[in-house]
Amino acid sequence: MEAALVTLLARSTREQLYAPALAPVADIVDTVRYPVLSAVARFGPISAADIAIHVGTDRTVASRHAAALETAGLLTRDVDPADARAWLLQLTPRGRSVIRGIRSRMAATIEASMADWPDGVADAFVDGLERFSRALTE
């Protein structure tokens, strides 16, 4: 179990999962920027400091990746109404479109990887993974 989880969580495994999904937009979203874009999509509006917590990097790195995504027109940065010294990042309409496409392609890759699994195994895997994730975050 531990070895399977280490493999699942390894950067190389994530990159193999991300690569086909990112291929059409690889000029603007690569495997290191995707987690930042995904965090904004999932939790935004969000600060770079909070992105760093979700992504597992430091704020400076998250800010640098967010700036590149902003330059590409995928994110906007607005003053945090609760703290005028801070910025909140959110998706632009183009960013929402790009993330929808990435997630759709990623879902197709995941489904294809499970296509030959016996009936019920994929559902049990998803259920177990969701339970495991909840147990770690509660």
The string of pLDDT tens digits covering residues 51-73 is 999 998 999 999 999 999 999 99
The pLDDT tens digits of the residues spanning 120-133 come to 999 999 999 899 88
Q: Closest by alpha carbon to 87, among 51, 47, 52?
A: 47
In the chain, what are the domains?
2-137 (1.10.10.10)
Collapsed DSSP state (helix, strand, coil) of residue 83: strand
- What is the distance between the terminal CA atoms of the chain, rounded to a whole angstrom? 21
Question: What number is the average pLDDT over the span 30-53?
Answer: 94
Contact (CB, 8 A) for 92 and 75: yes
Mean residue pLDDT of the chain comes to: 92
Confidence of residue 14 (pLDDT cuts 50, 70, 90): confident
Please report the pLDDT score of residue 24 as a whole number.
96
pLDDT digits (tens, 9 = 90+) for 76-87: 999 988 888 888
C-beta separation of 75 from 28 below 8 A: no
Is the entire prediction scored with pTM above 0.95? no
Give 94-115 as a DSSP string: HHHHHHHHHHHHHHHHHHHHTT
Alpha carbons 91 and 82: distance in angstroms, whole number: 19
